[in-house]
Structure 1
Amino acid sequence: MKVAVLGTGGGGRAHAVRLLELGHEVYVGTRDSQVTLGRTEPDFMGIEPFGQWVADYPGIELMNFDEAAASADFVINGIDGANAVRVLSGIGRHLAGKTLMDYAVPFIYNPEQAHPWPTPWGVMPALDPVDHDSLGERIQRALPQAKVVKACVTQEQETVVHPQAVAGGDHTMFIAGEHEDAKAEVTALLRSYGWRDILDLGPLVSSRGMEMYSHMHSAIQFALGGARFGMKVMR
C-alpha cells in the first residue's frame, strides 16, 4: 500500500519506519521539503533534524504535503492540532475518497491561563476545541469527501506502532469515524502493527472523548515517572 504520513515529528517518524518494515511504500509530507531537509538543529522537542534521521531509512521519501497526499492510497495525519485543518483543507483535492487516519490532538502551547498546570517540561497545553467539538470532527467537516477515522490518540505513537512493548500488547486501541469501510481499513493496519484489542467507539463525535483523554494520559505518565503504559478496557 502507498501511505502518506503527514508530519515529520516523532510520531510521524514512528509510523513511517513501521510502515516501511511492513513493506509499504512510505511518503512523509512536510510544508517545504527543502527547508525540512536543510535544518541542522533539533526541534523544540529535542528531536534530531529530519535530514539526519531519514538518512538511515532510504526507503522513506520526503515530499511536500500535497505531493505526499496525491501519491498515497492511505493517509495518516500527524500535523499539529493548531495547523491541521488549515493544511489539510489546502490539499483536500488529494484526500477525496481516501481514508485519513488522524491521531492529532488540538493542543495550544504556552496558553495564557489563570491556573496553569506545571509539568516536567513546561506548562500543560490547552485543548481547543474541547468538549463541544473536536479536531477530528473539524477535519471531517473541512474535508467532506475524505473518510476521517480518529485513532491512535490514547498512546504515544511509538507504542501505537509497537503495542507489544506494553504488557505484551494486552491493551486497548480506540477508533471512531463515520465510514465503516475506512474504519475497517484502519483496523487492518492496526492489526498489522500488532493490536489485538481494537474498540470501535462509533461515530466521529467520540473523538471528543479521545482527544480530551490526553490530559489524563499525561497525568498517569507523570505518576509513572515517564514510563510507557496502555489502557485496557475490561469487559
Structure 2
Amino acid sequence: MKITVLGTGGGARAHIAKLAELGHEVYVGTRDPEATLARTEPDMMGSPPFGQWLADHPGVQLRTFGDAATASDGIVINGIDGHNAVAALTAISDRLAGKTLIDYAVPFIYQHTPEHPWPTPWGIMPKLDPCDTDSLGERIQRALPDTKVVKSFVTQEQTTVVDPGSVGGGDHTMFVAGDHADAKQQATELLKDYGWTDILDVGPLVCARGMEMYAHMHSAIGFGLGQQFGGHFGIKVVR
C-alpha cells in the first residue's frame, strides 16, 4: 500500500521505518520539506535531524503535508503535535477526503503555569486541552467531516506500537475508537501487521477522550518504573 505519515518526530519515524520494513510505499508529510532537511540540530526530544535519519531510509519520500496526503491510497497516520494538528489538517482537508486518518496525537499544552504544578524529571507536566468534554480526535473529525478518523496508538510509545513483542512478548492491549467501522477495521489490520494480537475496540470516537487522558497515567507509570521519558511497558486488559 501507499501509506502516508504526517510528521517527522520520533514517533512518526517509528511508523515510517516499520511500514517501509513491511514493504509499503511510504510518504512523509512536513510543513516545509526544505526547512526540515536543512535542520542540523536534534529536536526537543533529542532525535537527530530528520535529513540525517532519512538518508538511512532510502525509498521514503518527503513531501509537504498536502502532497504526502494525496499520495496515500487509503491510510494516513497523524503524527503532527496535538497543539497544531487541527489547523494543519484542516488546511489539507480536501487531500484527506475519503481516507482513513489514524490519529495518535495528544493535545498537550506545554507553556502553562498551573496553580498546582506536577513536577517531572524534565519540567512541569503539560496540561491536556481539550479534556473531559471533548477530545482532539473529535475536533479533528469535526474539522474533517469527509475523513474517517480513528483514534489509536495513543496509549503507547510509538516505538512499542510498531513492535509490541518488545514488551512482554506482545501480551498487552491496544485500543481503537472511531465512528466508521471500515476505518477501524483498517487500523486493526495495520496493528495486526505490526504484531498486535490483543486489540480492543472501545467504541465510537467519543472514547478518544479517555484514551487521550490516559497520557498522564502513562507518564505516571513510567515515572514509577524509573523511566523518565514515556516508558517501555505495556498495559493489559484482563477479561
Deviations, residues 157-182 of structure 1 (Å, cap 9, x unaligned): 00000000000000000000000000
- Sequence identity (%): 69
Structure 2 gaps of 5+ residues are none
Matched residue, 1:27: 27
Structure 1 gaps of 5+ residues are none
SS of 2:209's equivalent in the other structure is helix
SS of 1:45's equivalent in the other structure is coil
Q: When the two structures are superposed, what TM-score results if normalisation uses the length of structure 1?
A: 0.99
> What is the Cα-based RMSD across aligned positions, in Å?
0.6
Deviations, residues 169-221 of structure 1 (Å, cap 9, x unaligned): 00000000000000001000000000000000000000000000000000000
Deviations, residues 93-124 of structure 1 (Å, cap 9, x unaligned): 01101000000000001311111111111111
Matched residue, 1:125: 126
SS of 1:86's equivalent in the other structure is helix
Matched residue, 1:5: 5
Q: Which runs of 4+ in 1 moved over 4 A?
A: none
Deviations, residues 57-89 of structure 1 (Å, cap 9, x unaligned): 012111110000011121000100010000000
Instruction: After TM superposition, list the pairs within 5 Å mapping 1:1-235 onto structure 2.
Output: 1-73=1-73, 74-226=75-227, 227-235=231-239
Deviations, residues 31-66 of structure 1 (Å, cap 9, x unaligned): 000000000011111111000011000121111100
- CA–CA distance in 1 between the matches of 2:183 and 2:167? 27
- CA–CA distance in 1 between the matches of 2:212 and 2:107? 8
- CA–CA distance in 2 between the matches of 1:222 and 1:142? 35
Q: When the two structures are superposed, what TM-score results if normalisation uses the length of structure 2?
A: 0.97
What is the number of residues matched between the two proteins? 235
- CA–CA distance in 1 between the matches of 2:111 and 2:220? 18
- CA–CA distance in 2 between the matches of 1:20 and 1:177? 26
